[in-house]
Structure formats: structure tokens, C-alpha cells
Amino acid sequence: MSYLDLVQPTAGDRLAVRALKATARFLEDRIRLVSLVDFLASKPVPHDLNWAYTLGSVCLFLLANQIVTGVLLALYYRPAISEAYESVRHIEEEVTCGWLVRQLHAWGANLMILALCFHMARVLWYGSYKKPREINWLIGVGLLLATLTFGFTGYLLPWDQLSYWASKVGTEIPGALPVIGSVLVKVMRGGEEITGATVGRFYTLHTLVLPGIVLGLVFLHLAIMRYHGITALPGKEHSRKVPFFPHHVMKDAISIYLTLAVLYVLVVVSPWKLHEKADALVTPEGVKPEWYFLWMYQFIKYFPQQIGFMSGKVVGIVLSSGVFGLLALAPVLDFGEGRLIQQRKLFMSLALAVLLGVLSLTVLGYICERDISLLGTTIHFDIKGFPEKVTGK
């Protein structure tokens, strides 16, 4: 089926349909729009793709959610420390549906990072980044980094206690790097401390720079994906092909609607609280970064003050950043041609070890400096996540 056939009017068409088809033909004659849609929709995809192959579309949907809700928030948000907190409060409490828009943005951001991780895990598991798709994998790693930066810069904007102190700690960390450390912190903060200048910088990055970068990368990512075609399941490279529309689109739509349902449930059941306004003189207890940075934050804690001639913190920062390096280098490290797991035992063991490490550090980062109660026993975990004091009934 071609879309060009659909734009030919038939005798049975009603006036509205004829008008639609005439418009489509007008656009086709001038900018070949229908041919483009046809080209995109008729993309042949293997018929046996599973649900994990819809994660890319879920990421795209969540990106759209961030753009729409972000633009709406920008209508009322004011990026100055004298007004930022009050404007967020105004959105939450006075603007119609303001709470909904803000919660969709906050929860959407978290789900987007989660969906990106699952999408990349799928690509990693099936070895989909192998030749000729190495460059598209690199673009994907770039998108992950840009999305994490989105999360980091957006976190400060409500200007409440949690956002202020998390940003303070977060921007402090690169300060340990030799030579460039202090310069980096100063450039990020727009001064020595987190002030209105920092809010201005983070807001500009968050709303002007990063959206441009991400949209550009997403366009490239999709164009290259359309050029190469979706990878088949490993070992099933010759399976029958079906057009992208409606076969895979239907599956994508179901995943997107499920994501929307999860998003709404989270928004209603567990809304993000706006804490007290930022106070540079009062540090709240147990300041921690967002869950997606917890593993790095926890990892750095296990290094001693000094390792040889280097500061332990620097070694920690360099090693934890190495995880992104490993991710970027996956197509090089996993150099064999085979995509089946049994053909990539060594690489997949390494990948699983790194993944387990990141997950364990995330859990340790979550439980540290907390009292966890389980079955009547309360355990206090120290700064490194070790159980310290046990009190029972």
C-alpha cells in the first residue's frame, strides 16, 4: 500500500475527505510530503520484534512530554532567585492544572532517564551497535549524557532547599579535579557560590542550549536508524519483513499509552513536593543527589583522602566517569561479528559486572545515612552504607 494511492479522490468521497486529499496532493506536488510520510511509514521492519524494541519510541514520547510541559512551565516560571520559588509555588497552587503540568515534567524527567537506560540495555543485550551502527550508538551515549545534564540543570530551578543543596554538592564534586577543577566550578556556578547567576546559567542551558543539542541528536539518531533499518533479533536476521506502519506503530502506541498510564499514576499517587525555599545558611540533613547520580556519589566515598600523589576524590571521579567511556567504547570492546550472547561471553560478563556495580552502589547510596526498618528491626546505615547500629523490639 502506498500513501500516494490514498490521496487520489474517489467518487464515494465526501466533501471533507476530498478537501483533505486535495490539500495532501497540493503538499505532495510542492514538497513531496506524502512521499516522505510514505517513505517513513513503509520502513520494512522484522515481523518478530519484541516489546523491548518499543523503548526508543517511549523515550521519544517522554521527550515530547518534557518539551510540551517545559514550554508551559516557562510561561509562568521566573529564573531569578527573588522570584523562582514563588513562581513555582504560583504554578502549583494558583494556575489551573499547574500542579499537573509541573508533576508531569518532574516525573517525566525521571521516567525518561529510566526509559533511556532500558533502551540502551536492549541495544547492548542484542549487540545492536555492531557495524554499521557504531556511530548511532555513540549518538545515543551523547543523548544519555545530555539527558543527565538536563536532569541536573532542571533540578536547581525550583530553588527549594533540596534543589539548592543537591546542586551545591553536585557542582562541588568537579572542584576536586586538578588545575581545571576550580575554573570548572566557577564557570558552572557563575561565581564562587550558587546564586542567581547559577539559576540564570542553568535555566539557559536547560531551556535553550540542551533542547537544541538533544533535538539535533535525536534527528540524526532517527535518520541514521531509518537509513540502516532496525536491527533484527540476533540469529533471526533473515526473518520476514513487514511495513513499520501499522504493524510496529501499533506496538509502539500500546507501550506509549502504558507509559502515559504509569506517568499519571505516579503524578497522582506520589507528587514531587516543593520543599521550603532555599536557605544558604541551613543545610538540611541527608542531602543526596537524584537517584541517577547516586552511584557516582556513593562510589567516590570509598576512596581515601590521598592515593599516592593524587587526591582520592579525583581517582573516584575519573573511574566513575569511566563507566560512560566504557559505554561509548562498547562497539570497540565487543569487536566480534556475532550478536548472540554465547558469542560475546567475555564482553557481556564485563557489562553485567559494571551494571551490577552501578546498581549496588545506587542501593548503597540510597540506604546510607538512613534508618531502615524491617520486620520490627531498625538498622542505621553509615555514610558508606554499612549497617551500624541495630535496634530491635
Partner 1 sequence: MDDSLNGLGSKKVSRKDFLDLAVAASAGLTAVGIGVPILTYIWPPLEVTTTAGQKVKIAGLKDITPVKAKAVMFNNKPVLVINTGDNFIALAATCPHLGCVVKWDEPAGKIMCPCHGAAFDIRGNVLGGPAPSPLVPVPLTKAADGIYLG
| R_g (Cα) of the chain, nearest Å | 25
Minimum gap (Å) between residue 211 Cβ and partner 1? 19
Q: How far apart are CA 231 and CA 54, in angstroms?
A: 13
Contact status: 95 vs partner 1 (CB under 8 A)? yes
Minimum gap (Å) between residue 90 Cβ and partner 1? 8
Cα–Cα distances in angstroms (integers) from residue 325 to residues 137, 171, 289, in the given order: 13, 21, 22
Q: For the range 231-237, what are the long-range contacts, defined as Cβ-Cβ under 8 Å and sequence gap of 24 or more?
A: 231/126, 231/128, 231/133, 231/339, 232/46, 232/48, 232/49, 233/46, 233/48, 233/49, 233/50, 233/126, 234/126, 234/127, 234/338, 234/339, 234/340, 234/341, 235/339, 235/340, 236/46, 236/48
Q: How far apart are CA 169 and CA 162, in angstroms?
A: 11
Contact status: 354 vs partner 1 (CB under 8 A)? no
DSSP 272: P
Minimum gap (Å) between residue 47 Cβ and partner 1? 19
Count the residues of the shown chain that bind partner 1, applying the rule CB under 8 A.
11
| Residue among 58, 59, 72, 106 that touches partner 1 (CB under 8 A) | 72
| Residue among 37, 68, 121, 329 that touches partner 1 (CB under 8 A) | 68
Task: Candidates 87-95, 294-302, 310-318, 383-391: pick the segment binding partner 1 (CB under 8 A).
Answer: 87-95
Contact status: 373 vs partner 1 (CB under 8 A)? no
Contact status: 106 vs partner 1 (CB under 8 A)? no
Q: How far apart are CA 155 and CA 149, in angstroms?
A: 10
Contact status: 96 vs partner 1 (CB under 8 A)? yes
Give 100 or 117: the residue with its C-beta nearer to partner 1.
100
Minimum gap (Å) between residue 72 Cβ and partner 1? 6
Give 76 or 303: the residue with its C-beta nearer to partner 1.
76
Residue type, 165: W
Q: How many CA atoms lie within 13 A of 203 on its CB side?
A: 18
Contact status: 88 vs partner 1 (CB under 8 A)? no
Minimum gap (Å) between residue 46 Cβ and partner 1? 23
Contact status: 10 vs partner 1 (CB under 8 A)? no
Task: Candidates 3-11, 68-76, 212-220, 312-320: pick the segment binding partner 1 (CB under 8 A).
Answer: 68-76
Enumerate residues 6+ apart whose C-beta is below 8 A from 307.
315
Give 209 or 253: the residue with its C-beta nearer to partner 1.
253
Judged by the rule CB under 8 A, the positions of this chain that interact with partner 1 are 68, 72, 75, 90, 94-98, 100-101
